[in-house]
Amino acid sequence: MRLRSQYDGEILRLAVPALGALAAEPLYVLVDTAIVGHLGRPQLAALGVAATVLTGLFGIFNFLQYGTTAQVGRASGAGEGRIANRLGAQALWLSLAFGIAVAAVVAALAPQIADVMGVEAQTAEYAVTYMRIAALGLPFAFLTLGGQGYLRGVADLRTPLVIVIAANVVNLVLELLFVYGFGWGIEGSAWGTVIAQAGMGAAFIVVIVRAARGDTRLNRKLMRRLLVIGRYLFVRTAALLAAFTLAGAVIARFGDASLAAHQIAFQLWIFLAFVLDAIAIAGQVLVGRGLGAGDTGRAWAASVRMIWLSVYAGVVFGAVMLALEDVLPYVFTSDELVIERTQAIWVLFALMQPLNGAVFALDGILIGASDGRFLMWSMVAAFAVCSLGSLAALAFDWGIVGVWASLVLLICVRLGLMLWRFSGRRWLVAGWA
């Protein structure tokens, strides 16, 4: 890879603010993990279950964000600024509707969800409490999906960064106050997050309504366009999150210590995934705008550069994680059994990072190209392979190490399939219509 490229400036201009916003998003759960982890093992294990479910549900609907970025980017690249702004308004309506529906389901079925995830007694009670409170914040959290998708599509990544950082600061202050100041325990952690999410959602509404200049009417044609690409990304994301949800459910059968260790590793994985995804966000924007303008050569060359940059970032993250193996787990817990289980999977977790870099970059590029159908079927294939590995780990008692090995396999299958698609160049389809 060349040390410099003509695309580096534009990639960095998009990726750096995206990096800040993406890294800040999972800090909600990382803050919860660090604060709740010192309340006790049952509370941390309960948070592990609740966070896996809520993060999974939230992630399944990220098509509201990614699909919006791709479509708004194409419209902007083609010079259709008015359509781009109206797409942002449609994304808000869709986000609010899905957020309310998901919140109602979580609140009503929280006990059944905890049972399916395999937790019992006090751990299950804590998990249900956390999920029911956190459900109140889901409609506001969903609004940030549509809001960020629109702003990324018009290449404004600074505004989402400011909003998300402000919300994280509020979340940290409120959680410390509620959990330790008021003594509310795990309930305080959930309430702090809900209030912060409410403020964040309101901020995105204000920004997009202003951009649309009051034209927020429902538009059937534009909404259908978002839903068409969204349905493929929905299945793609559902398959990815199903792999991690199944992994969490299997690990729960190995005891609270393994489940708590999985919570630590999973949240760190999510955090690093969001950081690596910064270049993928640049890919969504550059590819969408480039193809919308009809410049397939630029879209291809910029994509190659982004893949290499993301791989090298993954190498750096993997090396840092290996160096911190004996230090970082203690930030989240002082339970020696949990520490031992965390360190048992640490090498697998660290070595995934370079693979993740390539996978996330390719994912962003193909999303920007609106190649949703391929992303859907390739992810379904990867999920099938991974689920067999997780179930084998349960059947043969391979423990948490066996489950995380199956997650590595998930990434490898995705990488192979997307590299094949990328090299074939069939995704380079130009134009807005």
Using only C-alpha atoms, the chain has a radius of gyration, in whole angstroms, of 21
**Residue 419 CB: number of other CB atoms within 10 A?**
14
Higher pLDDT, 25 or 304: 304
- Quick one: which of 283, 217, 201 has its CA closest to 85? 217
User: Which amino acid type is present at position 33?
Assistant: T
- The mean pLDDT value of the chain amounts to 86
Give the pTM: 0.78
Higher pLDDT, 43 or 308: 308
SS3 220: helix
The rounded distance, in Å, linking the Cα atoms of 27 and 324 is: 19
pLDDT band for position 139 (50/70/90)?
very high
The rounded distance, in Å, linking the Cα atoms of 128 and 342 is: 25
- Whether the pLDDT of residue 405 is over 90: the answer is yes
- Quick one: which of 193, 180, 73, 80 has its CA closest to 130? 193
pLDDT band for position 355 (50/70/90)?
very high
- Whether the pLDDT of residue 173 is over 70: the answer is yes
pLDDT band for position 99 (50/70/90)?
very high
pLDDT band for position 223 (50/70/90)?
confident
DSSP state of 333: -
User: Which amino acid type is present at position 306?
Assistant: M
pLDDT band for position 3 (50/70/90)?
low
- Quick one: which of 246, 264, 188 has its CA closest to 53? 246
The dihedral region occupied by 181, where left means phi > 0, alpha psi between -120 and 50, and beta the remainder, is alpha
The stretch 105-112 carries a mean pLDDT of 90
So what's the pLDDT on residue 404?
Answer: 93
* Largest interatomic CA distance in the chain: 60
User: Do 259 and 252 form a contact (C-beta atoms < 8 A)?
Assistant: yes
Tokens coding 2: 């060349």
- Whether the pLDDT of residue 265 is over 70: the answer is yes
So what's the pLDDT on residue 82?
Answer: 82
The stretch 369-397 carries a mean pLDDT of 93
Task: For the chain, report the end-to-end CA distance as a whole number of angstroms.
Answer: 35
Higher pLDDT, 322 or 228: 322
The domain locations on the chain are 8-424
